[in-house]
Amino acid sequence: MSAVTPAGAGPAPRRLGPFEVPAVGLGCMNLSHAYGAPPTPEAAERLLLTAVEEGVTHFDTAALYGFGANEELVGRVLAGHRDRIVLASKCGMTGVDGKRVIDGRPETIRRTADEALARLRTDVIDLYYLHRLDRKVPVEESVGAMAELVTAGKVRALGLSEVSAATLRRAHAVHPIAALQNEYSLWTRNPEEGTLAATRELGVALVAFSPLARGVLTDAPPDPPALPTGDIRRGMPRFDARHYPANLARRAELAKLAEEAGIGLAPLALAWVVSRGPHVVALPGTRSVGHLRENLSVLALDVPRDVLDAAGRVLDATTVHGPRYNEATLAEIDTERCGRAG
C-alpha cells in the first residue's frame, strides 16, 4: 500500500465565510462540557495556548458549553490573541435553570449574543451559529434576528448547526450562511445525504464536528463502563454493550490500515474528513496537548487516495453499529438520517 508523504503538502486552507483557516480547527466543548468532569483551569488554559502556538486559528465554543463557562474560558485565555484567531460561538441552545433548552426566538438570540460578547471579552463574534433549529420558530425568524446582529456589528458571519440541506437553503435565502456545522466522520455519514453537496453548491463551509467519532478513532478509545457520570457517550447507542464491540472491531481494522500506511489512526480519520471536499473543515476537540499536536499533524500529510478510500470502506453508514443518538435526541435534530443506523 502507498506510504504517506510527510512533505508539507497536506490539505489546503479553507474558507470560513470571509476568513481563511487551516483545514483543522479546535472545538472547545470538552474543556467545559459533556465528557464528565472538566480539566482544571490551568490544564484547559495550557491546551488553548498551545493550540495558538501550534498555529490553530479557528476556535469554536457555544453558550451551551458549561452553561457559559466555556465562553468565559475561551474569552479569558484568548483575549490577548484576539487578532490572530477566528472566534466562533453559538446561540439557540443554552442552559436554563440547570437544563438544556432549545430556544430560537429572536429576543432570546439577541440576549444570548450580548451575554456571549461579554463572556468572550470581545466586541464582535466572527462566526455565530444557530446551535439547533427550534421547531417552534421558523428558521427564517431565527436567522433574521441573527442577521440583525451582523448589521449591528456584533457578528461578522452566520452559521447553522445540525440542520438539513432544505433548512440550509431556507436560511441562506434570508442571509448568506458562511458555515454549516454537522457531525461528520467515518462512522457518521449523514452529510452525504444532502448537506455535503448543498454546502458545496452554495459556497458554504461544512464544519465537521466529532470527526474522531467521539474519541473512538484515536489511540485511546473510550471504555464505556468506565466513563464518568455525566459523560454524554453513556447515552449514545453506539457505545452500549449491544453495539460497541462491533464498532471496536471496525476500529481495529482501521488501526491496522493506518499502521500499514505509516500514520496514526486519528490523522487518518481527520485526513479522510478533510478529503471530502475543499470546503470541509475538521473540528476535533481534545484535552490532551499530545493529541492536539497529533491532530494537527494531518496538515503536513499527503495521505494517498487508496488509503483514504480503503478507510471509507471499512467504516461507513452501513458498517457502523447503532444510531448516533437515542430517539429523543434525534427528534430534536433536523439533519438527514442515513444508513441502517439512522
The pLDDT tens digits of the residues spanning 251-278 come to 999 999 999 999 999 999 999 999 999 9
Per annotation, catalytic residue among 65, 129, 184, 244: 65
Global pTM value: 0.96
Active site residue 65: yes
One digit per residue, the tens of pLDDT, for the chain of length 342 reads 344 554 457 999 999 999 999 999 999 999 999 999 999 999 999 999 999 999 999 999 999 999 999 999 999 999 999 999 999 999 999 999 989 999 999 999 999 999 999 999 999 999 999 999 999 999 999 999 999 999 999 999 999 999 999 999 999 999 999 999 999 999 999 999 999 999 999 999 999 999 999 999 999 999 999 999 999 999 999 999 999 999 999 999 999 999 999 999 999 999 999 999 999 999 999 999 999 999 999 999 999 999 999 999 999 999 999 999 999 999 999 999 986 544
3 state SS for the chain: CCCCECCCCCCCCEEECCEEECCECEECHHHCCCECCCCCHHHHHHHHHHHHHCCCCEEECCCCHHHHHHHHHHHHHHHHHHHHCEEEEEECEEEECCEEEECCCHHHHHHHHHHHHHHHCCCCEEEEEECCCCCCCCHHHHHHHHHHHHHCCCEEEEEEECCCHHHHHHHHHHCCEEEEEEECECCECHHHHCHHHHHHHHCCEEEEECCCHHHCCCCCCCCHHHCCCCEHHHHCHHHCCCCHHHHHHHHHHHHHHHHHHCCCHHHHHHHHHHCCCCCEEEECCCCCHHHHHHHHHHHHCECCHHHHHHHHHHCCCCCCCCCCCCHHHHCCCCCCCCCCCC
pLDDT in tens, 3-30: 455 445 799 999 999 999 999 999 999 9
Domains and CATH numbers, the chain: 14-212+266-303 (3.20.20.100)
286's grid cell: 481534545
* d(C-alpha 130, C-alpha 143), whole Å: 8
